Structure 1
Amino acid sequence: METMIMRNLILAWVFIGLALAVPARAGDFIVLCYHDVQRSLDDPDGMSVTLDSLIAQFSWLEENGYRVLSIDDLLRAQQAEHPLPDKTVMLTFDDGYTSFYTKVFPLLKAFEFPAVLAVVGGWTEVPEGSLVDYGDKQVPRERFMSWEQLREVAASGLVEIASHSYDLHHGVLANPQGNEQPAMTARRYDAERDRYESAAAYEARLRADFAHNAALFEKHLGARPRVMVWPYGKYNRLAQDLAAEFGMPIALTLDTGPNDPKELGAVRRVLLMNDPPLANFVWQMHNPLWQRPEPVRVMHVDLDYVYDPDPAQQETNLGLLLDRVLQMGVNTVYLQAFADPDGDGVADALYFPNRHLPVRADLFNRVAWQLQTRTGVKVYAWMPVLAFTLGETRDQVQSWQADGPAAPDPEQYRRLSPFAPDALRLVEEIYEDLATHAAFSGILFHDDALLSDFEDAHPAALAAYAAAGLPEDIGAIRADPALQRRWTRLKMQTLHTFTGRLAQRVRDWRPDLKTARNLFALPVLERASESWFAQSLPRFLEHYDYTAIMAMPYMEGAEDPEAWLTELVRRIAETPGALDKVVFELQSVDWRHDNAPVPSSVLAQYMRLLAREGAKHYGYYPDDFFNNQPGVEELRPLMSLRTYPYLP
């Protein structure tokens, strides 16, 4: 299991090869993450470096004026006692291999470099001559350092011994289909009782582990650990809070990016894999990955296509999807997490355990995990914002009528009012349940997050308008252009605020979450139409990591699709930096004409047009993996990032 979980997690979630980088700003620092060090490389997991490589890298850092930091240096910088100079780096070594004592420690003394060594407490308690349960295999206890060796390196003043957990460096059963996921963050699934670990039991498990390891360190080293190094780089807000409670306010992740010494609760690290040659190491040091992000290529997938009441057929369907994603070569999948078999865009059930709606199947976690670990893509959970079958009819968005009472608009999605607090609380809890029961990289907010220029006339909305100094009479607002502009801005901000709250609920469990939100094309092409949707491209760019614009000319009834797409890209490009954050979602089906497939050659032509006009990110919806629609052969040259110049 160690081989499977560690390799798959790293290749899928931290798929960055040699993602080393210089700090982005003065005072920032970077942290390098090493594992085992060998004289000659025999490492099927790609997690080791050779001794010669390590010597060359240390020598390069010294010769090029890098300052190697200790934990005390960081703490002093955090307290603003001593600002960090430029070109600062920290060295970390995970798992406590004996090679650290025999190979790395002599180098640290020779170069006078400090380092952090992360130790799994449970492995140290295995008797000499016995075997350590190292994931899915057993390895000799002698592969890991003894307490005597740990005391020696700690006494040198060069090495900070960090906690790598007592017994959380492994996987636990995390869904009914049998996937094992990191014990630190996964809610354990009990197959015999067909239920998940409760929130209280999960917290108790983590608390007991942290307490045990702290006591073990105190017993053998005379001090409790000050630093937590998350196994597999996975953590959540609860784990962070517990680490701080047990005296470890500094925690090291495998998130990517530069670090600010004032923010040490989630220090980002870059993982050295596959024993990089010195030339690669140097090139990457001067070309930081996060300053040169790769293009986004998206397949937008309906989980309803994977679902089947027959578990065997469902697994077959999943296999077809995985093969399809690998063949297409994309790096991102927007994966439906709600059930919508009738296609009305409203969530009647969900694909994950939750408190408020039926579970059509406990499927999202299984598919998301397989996609991430088997194909290396980033998975965004595609979720409604307001379109849930929840609460009473009175909780729904109400459309103002000049000649009658307000009522839901039958031409729009059935949505909950973003001003109805009780209904929104239920949605927040659904998002929290999603985050606790599945591992994923981002959220795609569905296109249901809109309010027309007749909405919302819900009583709570009218009260919010009054509180903002607007009339409670929508007719009066619509009659005054200045009031209507204020009203539109208020509605926009209400939707942004709510999606921000939803994202925060998820980030408590998935801290490195990215966000994307669907935007209709008309507010970009016709500025006056912003009030028809309560959507605005500049505001989307401020609030989300990506804006997934619905670049769907057939849906919009465009007479000349190519001219329409060209104009859309050019309008977006008028906003500085917009093309860095906009994903163009093309349609692969013409819903206006009996759901006829858009020919793959035409879709490929549109992708070439987008790229020619300067679009950086694009994809399509939907993907029909049963019928090879759109065709892999036609689209792979335009979708795949597994070819030069994108292959890492």
Structure 2
Amino acid sequence: MIRWADLALLIIMIGVIGFSPLPAMAENRFTVLAYHDIRDEGAEPGVVTLRTETLVAHFSWLREQGYKVISLEEVVAANEGRRPLPDNAVLLTFDDGYQSMYTRVYPLLKLFNYPAVVAVVGKWMEAGSGERVAYDKEQVPRERFLSWSQVKEMVDSGLVEVASHSDDLHQGLLANPQGNDQPAATALRYDAESGRYETAEAYLQRIRRDLSQSIQAIERHTGRKPRAVIWPYGSYNRETVEIARSLGMTITMGLDGGPNDASDLSALRRVFIMHNASLADLVSDLRHFVPPRRIRVAQVDLDYIFDEDPARQEQNLGLLLDRVKQLGINTVYLQAFADPDGNGSAEALYFPNRHLPVRADLFNRVAWQLHKRAGVQVYAWMPVLGFTFKEDHPLSKFSVQTEAPTRASHGPTGHPRLSPFHPAVREAIGEIYEDLAKQAYFSGLLFHDDAYLSDFEDAGPWALVYYRDRWSLPHSIAEIRRSPEFRDKWSRHKTEFLVDWTKELADRVRKFRPEIKTARNLYAGVVLNPEWEQWFGQSLPAFLASYDYTAVMAMPYLEGAENPDEWLLALVRRIAAVPGGLDRTVFELQSVDWKTKTPIEGKTLARQMQLLRRNGALNLGYYPDDFIKGHPELSEIQRGMSLSPNSNK
């Protein structure tokens, strides 16, 4: 029972809380807050709840600090250019359609005259009185959720608008052979009996059918079609957004935090109000205060986990999960391709795809477990050019060619690569990246160190035609190299071409994983010697401008440095000289000396990490992590990888 006298006193007290006023947001910018259940008794397992008095504190503080709680109609009006949004605009949303929306939230909306959006799940709403419904993996009373008559009353008040929360997508479905459930709106259903995934066509039909049923139910009970969908678990992709738009729901919302601009309503960001969030939490969220995210990375070979024996493979996965949790890191670069011979090229992949053999359908399983059980962001570590097709494959002959095979290039060697200048090659690699995005859960892409072209590459006939027709260069590598002007132009264009190519691959992935971040390996020699761009087709400024992170291969033993510490100091100082360079650079150290085939001691790695940090490095990682042998040693590497500000002392 809400005691309105107590709440009135609380409202008055909130008005005098000494928070400093916030600057107004830019015109037509607004923030969406995502609430769930409001209850004062014990919370149900897995339900995000807030106490009534805390919600009152939130509402009161918004009013006293000059925030304007807006309706969805006001957002649409701003989008259509009919009238601008007020300064400091905030949209309130309440997910799942809990009974508390009517008993606790609705009275407060009337008291404050605040509009809001409630998102309902059709299957839960359509259940009869006394029935139980499947709430994720539990069976709960239907009475936990709103009735349609309550929804109709709130809609008729003019304060509440109903959004679709799907008909039956608020659940996980089997998404891989190992038994992981993943969000139904974006996962391809795996059928354990047949050992097959649902087709792309069947997936799209399933989503369209579900959203259509949700729309029909809402219109039938409220008299109004929903114009917004709030994706369960915040999980969506471009295809689901397009289906929703085609059905009249032009506004969609996820759970990625941050402000919005009314010019684009296709995938609104929302600030997720955490379980038992305080008023201070709300203040922090609305200030968009996000502490600088420092990256701590272990780069992991999936080849180490793979085993023909499924039981041993699961044991290997368990070792990795335990180690990642003990390390306390926040990011894993996880190999998505099979490279057992270590030549840097993919002869097989760890996910179903259209072009290469599948060594094991394993990447999705490991990435999901790392996310759910270890709480880390997983980047899919993928080749850019290094794919090896069998000799009878029509694309196998379109490899990167060198003008003078008998003459060594200055660039790195050992990566068999396909030519990015052949359109059929680009299309095949693009399809591989799309298949990865369809089949697996991950948060980012790490573009492998195979994305380079030396000062004698690519000399294939298809590349020469590209240089002539697109870049107005001579149809001969020898002639290009004889002219400093042509050589510099060729070098710059190759750098730009490879950057644009990786951006295209990322865009193909974002069709299915819209919020992925990108990182790309960069050879340290290019940082220390910018003129080496001609030898690699790589550039530190170009990388910093193009990717969320540049993963510099800070590997002094690989580079033959006589004094590893001095070499690392020179590297970090060079990057620090670029404005913002340290914020977006990950220094990846080597944990193995591949020249001597010996492990590098954990205390050496920890000392190198501390050296880098004392000189301004913010983001650190290492490769490889041998979680089976326990190298590098946890006791040492934890000290070097720590995010504590006191760990440098």
Q: If the TM-score is normalised by the length of the shorter chain, which range does it land in?
A: over 0.9
Q: Distance in 2 between matches of 1:332 and 1:133?
A: 33
1:379/1:608 CA distance change after superposition, 3 Å: same
User: Secondary structure in 2 aligned to 1:29?
Assistant: strand
> Residue 85 of structure 1: CA displacement?
2.9
**Partner of 1:415 in structure 2?**
417
CA deviations over 1:476-498 (Å, ceiling 9, x no partner) = 11111111110011111211121
**Partner of 2:274 in structure 1?**
273
Read off the aligned partner of 2:603 and give its amino acid letter.
S
Q: Distance in 2 between matches of 1:34 and 1:162?
A: 14
**Partner of 2:79 in structure 1?**
78
> Residue 87 of structure 1: CA displacement?
1.5
Q: Distance in 2 between matches of 1:464 and 1:519?
A: 25
The answer to whether the Cα contact below 8 Å between 1:172 and 1:181 also exists between their aligned partners in 2 is yes
> Residue 287 of structure 1: CA displacement?
5.0
What is the TM-score of this pair, normalised by structure 1?
0.93
Check if 1:379 corresponds to 2:381. no
> Residue 410 of structure 1: CA displacement?
10
> Residue 263 of structure 1: CA displacement?
1.1
The answer to whether the Cα contact below 8 Å between 1:351 and 1:361 also exists between their aligned partners in 2 is yes
Name the % identity. Answer: 55
Q: Distance in 2 between matches of 1:440 and 1:632?
A: 25
User: Secondary structure in 2 aligned to 1:552?
Assistant: coil
Gaps of 5+ in 2: 1-21
**Partner of 1:208 in structure 2?**
209
**Partner of 1:328 in structure 2?**
327
> Residue 278 of structure 1: CA displacement?
2.0
1:247/1:287 CA distance change after superposition, 3 Å: closer
**Partner of 2:353 in structure 1?**
354
Q: Distance in 2 between matches of 1:74 and 1:420?
A: 46
> Residue 46 of structure 1: CA displacement?
5.8
> Residue 634 of structure 1: CA displacement?
1.0
Check if 1:314 corresponds to 2:317. no
Check if 1:578 corresponds to 2:581. yes
Q: How does 1:17-96 map to 2 (within 5 A)?
A: 25-45=26-46, 47-96=48-97
Gaps of 5+ in 1: 1-20
Q: Distance in 2 between matches of 1:100 and 1:246?
A: 26
The answer to whether the Cα contact below 8 Å between 2:258 and 2:288 also exists between their aligned partners in 1 is no
> Residue 284 of structure 1: CA displacement?
3.9
> Residue 464 of structure 1: CA displacement?
1.1
The answer to whether the Cα contact below 8 Å between 1:23 and 1:30 also exists between their aligned partners in 2 is no
**Partner of 1:550 in structure 2?**
553
The answer to whether the Cα contact below 8 Å between 1:321 and 1:625 also exists between their aligned partners in 2 is yes
Q: Distance in 1 between matches of 2:24 and 2:258?
A: 9
The answer to whether the Cα contact below 8 Å between 1:41 and 1:49 also exists between their aligned partners in 2 is no
> Residue 24 of structure 1: CA displacement?
6.6
Read off the aligned partner of 2:457 and give its amino acid letter.
E
Q: Distance in 1 between matches of 2:611 and 2:42?
A: 46
Q: Distance in 2 between matches of 1:342 and 1:453?
A: 26
> Residue 636 of structure 1: CA displacement?
1.3
1:232/1:22 CA distance change after superposition, 3 Å: farther
The answer to whether the Cα contact below 8 Å between 2:164 and 2:226 also exists between their aligned partners in 1 is yes
> Residue 282 of structure 1: CA displacement?
2.4
**Partner of 1:365 in structure 2?**
364
Q: Distance in 2 between matches of 1:621 and 1:24?
A: 43
The answer to whether the Cα contact below 8 Å between 1:402 and 1:475 also exists between their aligned partners in 2 is no
Read off the aligned partner of 2:427 and give its amino acid letter.
R
Check if 1:605 corresponds to 2:604. no
1:435 to 423, 434, 437: 437
Q: Distance in 2 between matches of 1:645 and 1:237?
A: 43
Check if 1:509 corresponds to 2:509. no
**Partner of 1:560 in structure 2?**
563
Q: Distance in 1 between matches of 2:438 and 2:570?
A: 42
CA deviations over 1:373-426 (Å, ceiling 9, x no partner) = 00110000000000001344430000012989x99x993411001101111111
User: Secondary structure in 2 aligned to 1:395?
Assistant: coil
Read off the aligned partner of 2:492 and give its amino acid letter.
R
> Residue 86 of structure 1: CA displacement?
2.5
Q: Distance in 1 between matches of 2:283 and 2:533?
A: 48
Mean Cα displacement is larger for which, 135-144 or 390-399? 390-399
**Partner of 1:462 in structure 2?**
464
Q: Distance in 1 between matches of 2:27 and 2:84?
A: 9
Q: CA RMSD in A?
A: 1.9
Mean Cα displacement is larger for which, 266-275 or 226-235? 266-275
CA deviations over 1:98-117 (Å, ceiling 9, x no partner) = 00000000000100111110
> Residue 281 of structure 1: CA displacement?
2.7
**Partner of 2:195 in structure 1?**
194
The answer to whether the Cα contact below 8 Å between 1:23 and 1:258 also exists between their aligned partners in 2 is no
1:502/1:353 CA distance change after superposition, 3 Å: same
Q: Distance in 1 between matches of 2:269 and 2:645?
A: 28
Read off the aligned partner of 1:281 and give its amino acid letter.
L
The answer to whether the Cα contact below 8 Å between 2:400 and 2:418 also exists between their aligned partners in 1 is yes
Read off the aligned partner of 1:227 and give its amino acid letter.
A
The answer to whether the Cα contact below 8 Å between 1:303 and 1:335 also exists between their aligned partners in 2 is yes
Q: Distance in 2 between matches of 1:502 and 1:283?
A: 35
> Residue 41 of structure 1: CA displacement?
4.2
Q: Distance in 1 between matches of 2:26 and 2:346?
A: 44
The answer to whether the Cα contact below 8 Å between 1:41 and 1:48 also exists between their aligned partners in 2 is no
Check if 1:181 corresponds to 2:182. yes
CA deviations over 1:10-30 (Å, ceiling 9, x no partner) = xxxxxxxxxxx9887453211
User: Secondary structure in 2 aligned to 1:606?
Assistant: helix
Check if 1:121 corresponds to 2:119. no
The answer to whether the Cα contact below 8 Å between 2:25 and 2:88 also exists between their aligned partners in 1 is no
> Residue 551 of structure 1: CA displacement?
0.5
**Partner of 1:221 in structure 2?**
222
The answer to whether the Cα contact below 8 Å between 1:41 and 1:50 also exists between their aligned partners in 2 is no
What is the TM-score of this pair, normalised by structure 2?
0.93
The answer to whether the Cα contact below 8 Å between 2:324 and 2:374 also exists between their aligned partners in 1 is yes
Q: Distance in 2 between matches of 1:441 and 1:183?
A: 17
User: Secondary structure in 1 aligned to 2:631?
Assistant: coil
- Counting matched residue pairs gives 621
> Residue 473 of structure 1: CA displacement?
1.2
CA deviations over 1:500-532 (Å, ceiling 9, x no partner) = 111111100000011111000111101111100
1:494 to 483, 486, 497: 497
> Residue 644 of structure 1: CA displacement?
7.3
Mean Cα displacement is larger for which, 551-560 or 31-40? 31-40
1:550/1:76 CA distance change after superposition, 3 Å: same
User: Secondary structure in 2 aligned to 1:394?
Assistant: coil
User: Secondary structure in 1 aligned to 2:379?
Assistant: strand
> Residue 256 of structure 1: CA displacement?
2.0
The answer to whether the Cα contact below 8 Å between 1:172 and 1:180 also exists between their aligned partners in 2 is yes
